[in-house]
Amino acid sequence: MSALLHYSYGLLQHDLTPGGWPLHRAVASARCRYPSELTLITPTGALRFDPLHHQLTLLCAAVTGIQYTEHESTSRFIVITSRFARTARLYGDYAPRLCAQEAGMLLGAVHLVASALGLRTRPGQDQKTLNDLCAPWLPSAGEHPMGYLELARPPRPPKTGSPVDAGPQRPGDRAWHPPDLASVLRFRHSGAAIFDPEPAPVTRELINDLEAALATAPLGDFSCHLLARSVTDLAPGHYVHVEGRLRQVSEGDPLALLEQIGQSEGRVSMNFRSTACVAYLAVRRGAAVARYGDDAFRRVHLGAGAAAHLVCVVAARHGLTARVHNGYDAATAERLLGLMPDEETVIFQVAIGAARPPASFRLPVVF
């Protein structure tokens, strides 16, 4: 549990630059606001994870009315909630979007690390179960319930060495993770305040990892469109992730598409000319709204966010930076990517490139 919480949402980097964002956790967060909270639910109580001190603190006694699918002595829940106000201080009414994105990425982070540790996981979106899990403390906490995962201990202990690196593989496991996940997560970062990468290609090995990772995302209600400008052993063009593989939709340098989609207040939002590729994660908004109503917003961000975290981890494994950047025009993205009108929409733009050395001085945090 210590390794699971630390590598999912713990402090991994410390920025020593005066006036910067000093503490960086295992997932991306808009301006390092980190509105999400992780709570461990056990048959005996609810415990809040404190990343700063790397400890659990008791929130309340036993949570009743929860149906465990595993034996109660081994099953646990990880609950994700969000403090919208923490992000709203900087982003105002846009905060719920950013908080929902981070909650999805955090769900993906917990699922990824749990898989590396050999834990069995069951991600959950059911609103009633989520509300029941949060009921004892949420009314007075100023938090919004976002998602949960049910965990069960592995049938045998992990091997020796770094617990995240050495998680056992069981027959039938589909979850992707790199064998050196601990070091990859410590390396992962979002780049400098302005994302202006060096012109360097991504490798075919990265594309293969991306295919495998997206095929095993914990919540599959998304599609991934990859606009690749510079990839070794792969032609530039527009690719779509379908049934576990990337299928080419069109050939040629997609720079014109990127600069049309990547508009923010009438300007191109980043340097797409030196960005190797950009992943656009789209969801079926129309179907989700028809089925879940207002709750569709939370659900689609959980699914796409979990996939977005995998994109970031894949990039980090290959020494590159993945930057989640909301500076894009959704209507233009829907049209140029060939999405279904009034049904599909893009909710994540993730740029991948070789980040230039930042002006800040950053150190790893090791427990």
Asked if 178 and 185 touch (Cβ cutoff 8 Å), the reply is: no
Query: What is the rounded CA–CA span in Å between residue 241 and residue 290?
Result: 25
Hey, CA dihedral for 42, 49, 184, 281, is it positive or negative? positive
Element (H, E) at 107: helix 95-116
Query: What is the rounded CA–CA span in Å between residue 37 and residue 51?
Result: 10
Q: Which of 228, 283, 284, 214 is nearest to 258 (CA)?
A: 228
Asked if 182 and 165 touch (Cβ cutoff 8 Å), the reply is: yes
SS3 180: coil
Q: Which residues of 121-142 are buried (b: 16+ CB within 10 A; e: fewer)?
A: bebbbeeebbebbbbbbbeeee
What's the confidence (pLDDT) of residue 363? Answer: 81
Mean pLDDT of 10-26: 83
What's the confidence (pLDDT) of residue 152? Answer: 80
Q: Which of 243, 244, 284, 282 is nearest to 261 (CA)?
A: 282
What's the confidence (pLDDT) of residue 217? Answer: 94
Which pTM was predicted? 0.91
Query: What is the rounded CA–CA span in Å between residue 6 and residue 27?
Result: 11
What's the confidence (pLDDT) of residue 164? Answer: 61
Displacement of CA 288 from its chain's centroid (Å): 20
> Amino acid letter at 149?
L
pLDDT > 70 in the chain, percent: 88
Please give the domain boundaries of the chain with CATH numbers for all domains: 2-171+178-182 (3.40.109.10), 188-353 (3.40.109.10)
> Amino acid letter at 126?
D
What's the confidence (pLDDT) of residue 265? Answer: 80
What's the confidence (pLDDT) of residue 269? Answer: 82
What's the confidence (pLDDT) of residue 23? Answer: 86
Residue 309 — very low, low, confident or very high, per pLDDT cuts 50/70/90? very high
Q: In what order do the strands lie in the sheet with 11-15?
A: 23-25, 11-15, 362-364
Hey, CA dihedral for 291, 296, 302, 307, is it positive or negative? positive
Query: What is the rounded CA–CA span in Å between residue 201 and residue 228?
Result: 9
Tell me the pLDDT tens digit for each residue of 148-192. Answer: 999 986 655 555 555 565 444 433 345 799 999 999 999 999 887
Asked if 109 and 9 touch (Cβ cutoff 8 Å), the reply is: yes
Displacement of CA 366 from its chain's centroid (Å): 22
How many residues in total does the chain contain?
367
SS3 203: coil
Q: What is the average pLDDT value for the chain, to the nearest integer?
A: 88
What's the confidence (pLDDT) of residue 160? Answer: 53
